[in-house]
Amino acid sequence: YNINSVLHFDRNILKQYFKELPEMKAENMIIPQNARIVWNGKNFNIEPEKLGRQIDIEKSVDFAIAQLSNGGGEVYFTIITAHKPEVTTEDLASRKDYLNTILKSYLRFKLSDGNVVILNQNTIKTWIKEDEKYGYIVDVENGTDEFIKMLARKKWKSDKIKRSQFKIKKTRM
């Protein structure tokens, strides 16, 4: 005799049994939390991920029936337990290092009129945006574009002032 041919599981009874287990109660389940990049006021750090323990009742019933029907004497739910977050500390390590490195950038531009424009942490911080998935991201492309446009405006304004001074001097001659 094949034991599997005589086994029958009442799905509803099994589901009700699972619902009564402490491990299957919603208040005892822990949702996995992603690691995130956080700002501490001086630099970026990583808030580590938190492992979860969350089991879907419907999936657990299907899984248990499949395991027991295939001759398994025990059912290990760890296979279907949602415990690993999408984003881990390892995933964010290089991003955190990049953010901290870019914040250390310092460039000094001396314009033709003698004014000095500095690209430093204060400007770069405005390029950094909060991100739902990772914590923070930096938009270097748009940030540098805006900085270059600002430099061009200052240069144009400086040159315009020089041109107007030149015209004034020229007309006085």
Residue 87 lies in a domain: no
Same domain, 71 and 118: no
Same domain, 118 and 168: yes
Q: How many independent structural domains does the chain possess?
A: 2
Global model pTM greater than 0.75: no
Residue 13 lies in a domain: yes
Same domain, 58 and 110: no
Residue 86 lies in a domain: no
Question: How do the pLDDT tens digits run along the chain, 173 residues long?
Answer: 445 555 677 888 888 988 888 888 888 888 899 999 999 988 999 999 998 888 888 888 888 888 887 776 777 777 777 788 999 999 999 999 999 999 999 999 888 778 889 999 999 999 999 888 888 888 989 999 999 999 888 877 766 655 555 444 444 44
Whole-number Å distance between alpha carbons of 67 and 94: 41
**What is the enclosing helix (H) or strand (E) of 90?**
helix 89-103
**What is the enclosing helix (H) or strand (E) of 129?**
strand 128-131
Expressed as residue numbers, the domain containing 66 is 3-79
